[in-house]
């Protein structure tokens, strides 16, 4: 199956700085990549996703970029705020079975006020 | 709309005991899932159900069974719990790709 690797495992930034989380995937046929945010003790929730027919997608302070050639995608958060503190998971949907998602191991983001 | 609800939220078991985690969704989604979350390992798929009446194995199905009771409900059963099954379990549902998760069930097996 697909292998998704996520870095870094922890990230600490000052409020107002930018944060970048990177993921790589192994199957070049994969074409849907969602990002989930999980606040402490809460359920994961989708924050942004990207399909392989575009290279970048933005939603206010959050953006995701995709490099199909290199098989990696990244989450960018600008002007970070304390409420951005959470664990972020990247994922890749299997191109052979749409019910299978392969998740990265997570990045714990700490935004210091 | 409650979304995805799962019970219980917390459970402590002894090795060898059995239990069932219940999950229900009110979004009329066809697909439902059970994931487990362990520190440093992200979310791993245990079983899924693409539609009412079907179930399939995910990445880590050993030691678990599931039942898709109807379109709304999808249960996960541990027949003989082992300490390695200590984890947080999430039920999820989906229709078009986005996964909607329940609040999670924290299971400890002693």
Over residues B1-48, the pLDDT tens digits come to: 689 999 999 999 999 999 999 999 999 999 999 999 998 888 999 999
Q: For residue A2, which of B61, B57, B21, B44 has the smallest C-alpha distance?
A: B44
Q: How far is B43 from chain A (nearest CA, A)?
A: 6
For residue A48, give the chain B residue with the closest CA.
B98
For B71-95, the pLDDT digits (tens) are: 999 999 999 999 999 999 999 999 9
Verify whether the Cβ–Cβ distance B40 to A106 is below 8 Å: yes
For residue B4, give the chain A residue with the closest CA.
A43
Cβ contacts of A32 within 8 Å, gap of 6 or more? A49, A50, A51, A52, A92, A93, B97
Rounded to whole angstroms, the Cα distance separating B99 from B67 reads: 19
Map tokens 């002693």 to a residue.
B110
Interface A:B, Cβ pairs < 8 A: 50
Q: What is the mean pLDDT of residues A48-68?
A: 94
Rounded to whole angstroms, the Cα distance separating B59 from B44 reads: 6
> Which chain A residues are within 8 Å of B56, Cβ to Cβ?
99
- Interior CA angle at A46 toward A63 and A87, to 5°? 80
Grade residue B96 by pLDDT with cuts at 50, 70 and 90: confident
Report strand pairing: A56-59 vs A62-67: antiparallel
The distance from CA B93 to its chain's CA centroid, rounded to whole angstroms, is: 10
For residue B103, give the chain A residue with the closest CA.
A43
Residue B95 DSSP code: S
Spell out a b/e string for A21-30, using b for 16 or more CB atoms within 10 Å of the CB, else e.
bbbbbebeeb
């Amino acid at each position: 199956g697909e292998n998704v690797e996520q870095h870094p495992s922890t990230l600490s930034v000052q409020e107002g700085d930018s944060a970048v989380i990177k993921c790589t995937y192994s199957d070049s046929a994969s074409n849907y990549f969602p990002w989930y945010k999980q606040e402490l003790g809460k359920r994961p929730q989708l924050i942004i996703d990207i399909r392989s027919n575009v290279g970048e997608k933005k939603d206010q302070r959050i953006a995701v970029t995709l490099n199909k050639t290199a098989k990696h995608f990244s989450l960018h958060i600008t002007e970070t705020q304390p409420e951005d503190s959470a664990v972020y998971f990247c994922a890749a949907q299997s191109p052979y079975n749409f019910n299978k998602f392969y998740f990265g191991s997570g990045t714990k983001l700490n935004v210091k006020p | 709309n409650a979304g995805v609800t799962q019970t219980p939220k917390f459970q402590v078991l002894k090795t060898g005991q059995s239990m069932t985690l219940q999950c229900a969704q009110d979004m009329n989604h066809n697909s439902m899932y059970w994931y487990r979350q362990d520190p440093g390992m992200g979310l791993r798929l245990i079983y899924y159900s693409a539609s009412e009446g079907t179930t399939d194995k995910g990445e880590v199905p050993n030691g678990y069974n599931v039942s898709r009771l109807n379109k709304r409900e999808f249960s996960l059963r541990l027949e003989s719990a082992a300490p390695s099954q200590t984890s947080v379990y999430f039920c999820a549902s989906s229709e078009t790709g986005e996964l909607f998760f329940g609040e999670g069930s924290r299971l400890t097996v002693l």
